Structure 1
Amino acid sequence: MSMPLGGVQVGSYDSYEQAQAAVDYLSDEKFAVENVTIIGTDLRMVETVTGRMTMGRALAAGAAAGAWWGLFVGLLLGIFAPDGSNWIGSVVTGLLIGVAFGAAFGGMGYAATRGKRDFTSTSKITASRYDIMCHPAHAEQAREMLARFSLRS
C-alpha cells in the first residue's frame, strides 16, 4: 500500500498563515513536526501591476542597480588603495561607472522589449487550500492536537 505524498491529511486551512500557525502549535506542544508537511493545492499565480514602465523609469532603475554594484566594486578596490584620498576616489569612480553602465543596460533592456511589456509588476504563487499532512504513525495524535488548536482559536 503506497502512502500519499506527505502522509495522511490531519488538517486543512484556507490560508498559509493558518496552516503555519497550526504547525507552530504542534511544535509548541512538543509534537514531532519533522513528520508533518504543508501542501498547497489548486495553485495560481497572482501578478499585481505596480505601474507603467517608461524609458525614464528603466534608466533610473538600471542606474540604481548599477550604483549598488559600482559602490561594491569601488569599496573592494578602495581596500587596496595606499592612502585615504585614493580610497575615496576608488569608491566615487566605481559608483559613477556603475551608474553609467546600469543606466545603459537598463535602457537597452527596455528597448529590447519593443513596447511589449510597458508595465512593472510583482507576482506570487498562492493556493486555495493548505493541507497539513502527517506520517500515518503520528496522524491520530496530530489530529487530536489540531482539534484542540481549532477550539482554542
Structure 2
Amino acid sequence: MTTQHSGSHSRTTAAAGQRRTIASFTNYRDAERAVDHLSDNNFPVDRTAIIGNDVRMVEQVVGRLNWGRALLNGAASGAVPGVLFGWIFGLFDLVNPLVAALTLALYGLVFGAVIGAIMGAIFYGMQRGRRDFSSVTAMVPSRYDLVVDEEVADEAQRLLAKLGTGSGS
C-alpha cells in the first residue's frame, strides 16, 4: 500500500537542505521499486533516501536450545575462525605455503571447533535453563518514507505518478 503526500505535508531537514516526503510504503520492496523507477527515468537518485519509521524489534524464535545444540553451535562458531587463522598462518611457510595453509587450516578447524564447543557448553551452563531457545532479532519498520531534496521533489512526484497509474505495477 502506498500513500502519496502533497508537497506541503512532511518535510525533513537533511544535511543537503530541505527534504520532502513524496511517498510512504508499507514494505521496503515497494519503496525500492519506486527509487528504481526514478532511476530508470534519469532522476538524480543520489538526492533521495528511504527512511524506515516506527521501528520495532522482532525476535523470531527458531528452535529449542539444549546441550547438544549449544555444543554444536559453539563448535560451528569456533571452527570458522579456526580455519581462517590456520590458513593465514600457513601462507607464511616459505617452503610449501599451499600444503602448510591447508594443513594448518585443518588443524585450525579441529582446534577451533573444540574450543568453540567448550565455550558453548560454558555459556549454556551459565544460563541455568533461563533461556532454552535460539532466536534471531531484527529491526522492522512499519512504514518506509521516500524523501527527496526539495528542489527536485515536484519532478519525483510527477515520475512516481506515472508508476502508480500505468507502468504495470
Q: Which runs of 5+ in 2 are unaligned?
A: 1-10
Give the corresponding residue for 1:146: 160
How far did residue 121 of structure 1 move? 0.9
TM-score by length of 2: 0.80
How far did residue 98 of structure 1 move? 1.1
1:4 is aligned with what amino acid?
A: T
Give the corresponding residue for 1:71: 83
Give the corresponding residue for 2:49: 37
Give the corresponding residue for 1:133: 147
- Shift in CA distance, 83/140, structure 1 to aligned 2, threshold 3 Å: closer
Greater relative contact order (Cα < 8 A, sep 6+): 1
Equivalent residue pairs, number = 151
- Shift in CA distance, 9/91, structure 1 to aligned 2, threshold 3 Å: closer
How far did residue 82 of structure 1 move? 3.8
CA distance in 2 between partners of 1:74 and 1:150 (Å): 55
How far did residue 89 of structure 1 move? 4.6
Q: Which runs of 5+ in 1 are unaligned?
A: none
130, 140, 144: which one pairs with 1:116? Answer: 130
2:70 is aligned with what amino acid?
A: A
1:143 is aligned with what amino acid?
A: Q
46, 62, 65: which one pairs with 1:53? Answer: 65
Query: Which runs of structure 1 show a deviation greater than 4 angstroms over 4 or more consecutive aligned residues?
Result: none
4, 15, 20: which one pairs with 2:12? Answer: 4
Decide which moves more: 20-29 or 71-80: 71-80
CA distance in 1 between partners of 2:105 and 2:148 (Å): 54
TM-score by length of 1: 0.87
Decide which moves more: 11-20 or 86-95: 86-95
Asked whether the 8 Å contact 2:31–2:145 carries over to 1, the reply is yes
Give the corresponding residue for 1:101: 115
| CA root-mean-square deviation | 2.1
